[in-house]
Amino acid sequence: MGLEFYTSKLGDAVNWARKYSLFQYPFVTACCGMEFMALWGPKYDVARFGAEFPRFSPRQADLLIIVGTITERQGPVLRRVYEQMCEPKWTVAFGVCASTGGFYQNYSVMPGADQCIPIDVYIPGCPPRPEQVLDALQLLQDKIQKGEGYIQKRERAEHEAVKAGKLKVVG
């Protein structure tokens, strides 16, 4: 498939399939986790969007949800979890701490998980309402469909570079 992949209608079909079968890895560190659990319950029922099934190994997941405060000390761990995930992968920062550090402005808290890994969708709120999370999930699905996720954009840029002869495929 290679170069034609993203330029053809096949790409659209693949992205359509991807957006309705997100396997999430919840990286839960703080109180946001409680709200995150509500999302899985029958009331908000995230299964309607094809993303109900959590994977407890990052290697089997393609959506990393960072739920809660990330400290500087957790940075290398989060980075490693992210790097273990197979591409294509997407990330969501759940809540204001994961997005910006929130109300923690001190020596220990990382000012936003995007300091150490790329984030596709940010959800504000302390904690966010489940409706906001469903909204964010739909936003992410739109992004995936349009190929605007960070990894998708990077992949496309690499393909363009190969096409233009700036980058060589080895091996």
Partner 1 sequence: MSAAALERAKQILGTAVRSTHDKCGDETLVVDATTIRDTMKALRDDSELKMNFLVDLTCVDYLGNEPRFEVVYHLRSMTTGARLRVKAPLAEPADGSSPEIDSLVPLWRGANWFEREVFDMYGVKFRGHPDLRRILMYPEFVGYPMRKDYPKERRQPLVRRTPDEA
Pick between residue 110 and residue 133 the one whose CB is nearest to partner 1. Answer: 110
Instruction: Rule CB under 8 A: say whether 72 interacts with partner 1.
Output: yes
Shortest distance, position 149 Cβ to partner 1, whole Å: 14
Measured CA angle at 145 (ends 158, 60), to 5 deg: 75
* Number of residues near partner 1 (by CB under 8 A): 16
Check residue 106 for interaction with partner 1 (CB under 8 A).
yes
Interface with partner 1, residue 108, by CB under 8 A: yes
Region from 1-9, 13-21, 33-41, 69-77 binding partner 1, contact rule CB under 8 A: 69-77
Per CB under 8 A, the segment of 8-16, 43-51, 58-66, 113-121 that binds partner 1 is: 113-121
Q: In whole angstroms, give the CA distance from residue 151 to residue 1.
A: 18
Q: How far is the CB of 118 from partner 1 (least distance, A)?
A: 6
Amino acid, res. 50? G
- Provide CB contacts within 8 A for 9, sequence distance 6+: none
Comparing CB distances to partner 1, the nearer of 84 and 132 is 84
Residues in the chain: 171
Nearest-5° Cα angle at 126, 123 to 127 = 75
Asked if 120 is part of the footprint of partner 1 (rule: CB under 8 A), the reply reads no
Q: In the bound complex, what is the minimum distance in angstroms from residue 84's beta carbon to partner 1?
A: 15
Report the alpha-carbon distance of residue 151 to residue 61 in Å, rounded.
14
Q: Are 46 and 52 in contact (CB under 8 A)?
A: yes
Distance CA 139, CA 153 (A): 16
| Site residues, partner 1 (CB under 8 A) | 72-73, 75-76, 79, 105-108, 110-111, 114-118
